[in-house]
Amino acid sequence: MRSVDPEQKGEMIDKNSELKQLPCEEGSLLANEDVKMSEVYSAVLSVDINSLMDMFSGGPLEHKVMQKAGCVDYSPTEWELLNQNIYQRQISFKFDKILSRFGEALTTQRKYNLANRDGWVIEEVMTLQGVQHEDYSSIQLKYQMTSTSLKPSTCSIQVLLGIAWLKGAKQQKKVVKNVMSNSANRLREIFSEVEKELASKKEWEGHNDMIIT
């Protein structure tokens, strides 16, 4: 379940058309009948679910990882409780100079617990500012993260991606290929960095505990 290697990227994109197209739940942030979600990334991470969710807390880990992923002026708001189980926040950032043609990104995220399972779902709608898009209005992502029974301190993550198309879009196949490829690389980089950062933190804490004892 590890994410695909760069040399497998083309194969993943070719197989994308064969992936099951998953509609979003009614009433969710992504509830749009015209947007179908396909898997773009999946992995088993060597971190527990609570540590992984620290990546979405707005704290130092999230800022550090997103900065390394090329997100400049990364600014998330606090999570706001919408109802008993659903939280929502907004994020703004700019892509670094290498990706400057994409301009600024504005993102809305919503998170909620999985029913009867140890895990979370995060839904995300990202719009890109400062650049004209002829084909789509937003990129939509759905992260599902659950604890695994494989071994302690591991969790699985699956990310689905969908594109909200503008009327009269003509180059959907090309756009899907580019967005899927860029998103897969970005997600692989982000969660690989999360694993490294959390492993370093655990090592540092373990070393300090040895000194204290």
Cα–Cα dist 175/202, whole Å? 40
- The pTM assigned to this predicted structure is 0.80
- Predicted confidence (pLDDT) per residue in 6-59, tens digit: 444 333 333 333 333 444 454 578 766 678 899 999 999 999 999 999 999 999
* Residue 56 covered by a domain: yes
Q: Which residue has the higher pLDDT, 53 or 203?
A: 53
Residue 164's alpha-carbon distances to 135, 161, 184, in angstroms, are 9, 10, 18
* Residue 170 covered by a domain: yes
Instruction: Give the pLDDT score at 187.
Output: 96
Residue type, 83: N
Q: Is the pLDDT of residue 211 over 80?
A: no
- Predicted confidence (pLDDT) per residue in 58-73, tens digit: 999 999 999 999 899 9
Q: How many domains does the structure of the chain reveal? A: 1
Q: Is the pLDDT of residue 208 over 70?
A: no
* Residue 1 covered by a domain: no
* Residue 145 covered by a domain: yes
* Residue 147 covered by a domain: yes
Look up the CATH number of the domain holding residue 66.
3.30.530.20
* Residue 31 covered by a domain: yes
Cα–Cα dist 213/201, whole Å? 18
User: Domain range for residue 76?
Assistant: 6-212
Burial, 30: exposed, middle or buried (Cβ in 10 Å; 0-12, 13-18, 19+)? buried
- Predicted confidence (pLDDT) per residue in 94-124, tens digit: 988 665 566 789 999 999 999 888 899 999 9
Q: Which helix (H) or strand (E) holds 88?
A: strand 86-95
Q: Which residue has the tokens 């090592």?
A: 203
* Residue 194 covered by a domain: yes
Instruction: Give the pLDDT score at 2.
Output: 44
Task: Say if residues 102 and 127 touch (Cβ distance below 8 Å).
Answer: no
Q: Is the pLDDT of residue 86 over 80?
A: yes
